Amino acid sequence: MNLNLNDWIGFTGVAILLLAFLLNLFKKISSNSLSYILMNIIGAGLACLASWLINYIPFVILEASWTIVSLFALFNYVRKK
């Protein structure tokens, strides 16, 4: 298997998203916690970038939406603190 930079960016983003999901699923972090929100922003942002680099627009839309929703969650988190 020959992975290029686009693959590594996408792999890293998806791994961060899955880690956040699993940590939340096993009650290690809350979906309202700063770490969960940041993991979603970073993971979705990286997955969006990788999708953009390979010109796969359906996933650009999905991951960009995920990033934007997570940014709103961050703004709400900061506003409440």
pLDDT of 1 = 81
* pLDDT band, residue 81 (cuts 50/70/90): confident
Indicate if the alpha-carbon torsion angle 58, 61, 66, 67 is positive or negative.
positive
pLDDT of 40 = 98
- Number of domains the chain contains: 1
Give the SS3 label for residue 72: helix
pLDDT above 90 covers what percent of the chain?
Answer: 96
* pLDDT band, residue 9 (cuts 50/70/90): very high
pLDDT tops 90 at residue 36:
yes
Q: Which domain holds residue 30?
A: 5-80
